[in-house]
Amino acid sequence: MNNYRGCQGLNKNPSESMHEHYEIKIDSPDEPNRARIIAFSVWGILRGMESFGHLIYYKADQTNSNVGVYLVNSTQVMDFPRFTHRGVMLDSSRHFLSKSVIIANLDLMEMNKMNVFHWHLTDDQSFPYESKSFPQLSKKGSYNPNTHVYHQQDIKEILEAARIRGIRVVPEFDTPGHTRSWENGHPGLLTKCFDGVLGPVNPILNSTYAFMKKFFHEVMTVFPDELLHLGGDEVNTNCWKNNTEIVAFMKENNITDAKLLEAYYLAKIFNIVESYKPSKKSYAVWQEAYQNGQGQLSKNAIVHVWKGEDWQNVTQKATGDGMKVLLSAPWYLNYISYGIDWHNYYKIDPQNFGGNDKQRRLVFGGEACMWGEFVNSINLIPRLWPRASAVAERLWSSADVTDVNKAAPRLQEHECRMLKRGYRVEPSNGPGYCDIDWN
């Protein structure tokens, strides 16, 4: 193994700008009897090593089928990803996911050349992140503070496991909605709705922003990646609209619509992120943050499109406004159905939404999402793989690689490969078998 211009990245974190291009030359005309993987960076070498593994095949002896050899053919490969951001989103709030399962999933992501682990850490149901600044958040907000928490040491291990696989970790702390569990350890954070139940984060209190500044600055210190996911989806703006103090605040501040209060809140959170030193951070939000913003949302925010029904329209509109877009809408893999479903994921083209070239370039990647309502450490891996492999190929391969019938045997082979390496991936193509297909 070798590289082209010295090995960039060995001690660095993978980033949005990392080079994943690689070449494989095995017994090429200009270098007979030699095998090389060539890349601009260690990340390209990693991708090339994975592909090299796929080139190896077994050949049984013609006279004695009990023996055989592993072979690689003479070949030349030049390969690079179509999209920069190729992710898997896991939800560790609806159900807790064990560290070992998260790391097994990083293995599988690497085998599928995916490079972003979007970690939806907290939600209404539980707060499993151990905050150094606010330890009560997980002590009171997790399912069990002894067993269902990611301690700082666990996070370090996961970050390092991801780094050496060339995978970025983008944490999501979803606010102002989806925050019910935060209130347990930080009382007074949420809005009391008209009917007495708790709603979104209270956006009119200075204490909210003092807390958020300290919290997010910690998060940015813990998670080195430049990208932070700030959530912003499914905010119950009715709760705000029917709270007299909030209505008064809106009047005072000339905020004409409770939906615009989300943009107001997020602008303050964006300022908090932008004020972080030493490193520059970028941020993504779910599509409602953009839609509720009615043009007022910062152009720096990345719009994460997740609603299945109209992803093309929303993507066209957001990119038309000059926003960068991440696509997940067609890739909600938590939705299961009987039979072969990966065809649907494979057939999506993230740039097929009727925009112009400039707009299409603003779509810089996508993510397969696995929400956790019905998924825990037991069924995460078999439910996600190899279905997510279809998304991985779509995000890596050239736009003209679209033939499902040609992809099917590749996927089948890859399914057996993942199984053989010890991962509990499930059958995706109907009846059949792998050489090794049991536990």
Dist CA 164 CA 223 (whole Å): 15
Residue 59 beta carbon to its own copies: minimum distance, rounded to whole angstroms:
17
Determine, following the binding rule CB under 8 A, whether residue 338 of this chain makes contact with its own copies: yes
Residue 337 contacts its own copies per CB under 8 A: yes
Cα–Cα distance between 168 and 227 in angstroms, integer? 9
**Which residues ranging from 199 to 258 are in contact with its own copies (CB under 8 A)?**
none
Look up tokens 């592993």; give the residue: 70
**Does residue 96 touch its own copies according to CB under 8 A?**
yes
List the one residue from 269, 375, 384, 390 that touches its own copies (CB under 8 A): 375
Rounded CA-CA distance 216/203 in Å is 16
From 35-43, 97-105, 323-331, 390-398, span contacting its own copies (CB under 8 A): 97-105
Q: Select 121 or 220, whichever has its Cβ closest to its own copies.
A: 121
Q: Verify binding: residue 437, its own copies, rule CB under 8 A.
A: yes
Of 96 and 290, nearer to its own copies (C-beta) is: 96
Measured from the CB atom, the residue of 296 and 377 that comes closer to its own copies is: 377
The pair of structure tokens assigned to 118 is 């979007």
Question: What's the sign of the alpha-carbon dihedral 239, 241, 247, 250?
Answer: positive
Distance CA 102, CA 117 (A): 10
Closer CB to its own copies, 113 or 180, in the complex: 180
Residue 437 to residue 424: CA distance in whole angstroms: 9
User: Is 427 one of the binding residues for its own copies (CB under 8 A)?
Assistant: yes
Among 335, 343, 349, 421, binds its own copies (CB under 8 A): 335
Instruction: Select which of 16, 157, 218, 234 is catalytic.
Output: 234
Q: Which of these ranges, 53-61, 68-76, 246-254, 367-375, lies near its own copies under the rule CB under 8 A?
A: 367-375
Cβ-based nearer residue to its own copies, 270 or 385? 385
- Considering only residues 1, 197, 248, 378, which one is a binding residue for its own copies as defined by CB under 8 A? 378
Stretch that binds its own copies, among 114-122, 159-167, 184-192, 377-385 (CB under 8 A): 377-385
Window contacting its own copies (CB under 8 A); options: 186-194, 208-216, 349-357, 376-384: 376-384
The residues with which 87 forms a beta bridge, in sequence order, are 116, 367
305 near its own copies, rule: CB under 8 A: no
Encoded one letter per residue, x for contact with its own copies by CB under 8 A and - for no contact, window 146-185 reads: -xx-------------------------------------
User: Can you read off the two tokens belonging to residue 7?
Assistant: 């090995």
Residue 169 CB coordination number (10 Å): 24
Q: How many chain residues are in contact with its own copies, going by CB under 8 A?
A: 44
Q: Output the six-digit token pair for 36.
A: 């090389």
Cβ partners under 8 Å of residue 167, min gap 6: 14, 106, 109, 110, 114, 115, 116, 117
CA gap 43, 22 in Å, rounded: 9
Q: Which residue from 103, 183, 118, 151 is spatially nearest to 381, judged by alpha carbons?
A: 103
DSSP bridge partners of 60: 68
433 lines the binding site for its own copies (CB under 8 A): yes
Residue type, 222: V
> For its own copies, which residue of 242, 379, 402, 412 counts as binding (CB under 8 A)?
379
Cis peptide before 171 (omega within 30 of 0): no
Q: For residues 98 and 377, is the Cβ–Cβ distance under 8 A?
A: yes
Binds its own copies (CB under 8 A): choice among 85, 95, 178, 324: 95
- 245 part of the active site: no
Sign (positive or negative) of CA dihedral 389, 378, 230, 309: positive
Nearer to its own copies, 96 or 311 (CB): 96
Q: Which residues of 383-393 are buried (b: 16+ CB within 10 A; e: fewer)?
A: bbbbbbbbbbb
Phi, then psi, of 390 in degrees rounded to 5: -65, -40
Q: x/- site string to its own copies, residues 121 to 150, per CB under 8 A?
A: ----xx----------------xx--xx--
Q: Which residues contact 15 (CB under 8 A, 6 or more apart)?
A: 168, 225, 226
In the bound state with its own copies, the residue whose beta carbon lies nearer, of 197 and 378, is: 378
The site for its own copies (CB under 8 A) is made up of 93-98, 100-101, 125-126, 143-144, 147-148, 334-339, 372-379, 382, 419, 424-428, 430-433, 435-439
Instruction: Tell me the catalytic residues.
Output: 234
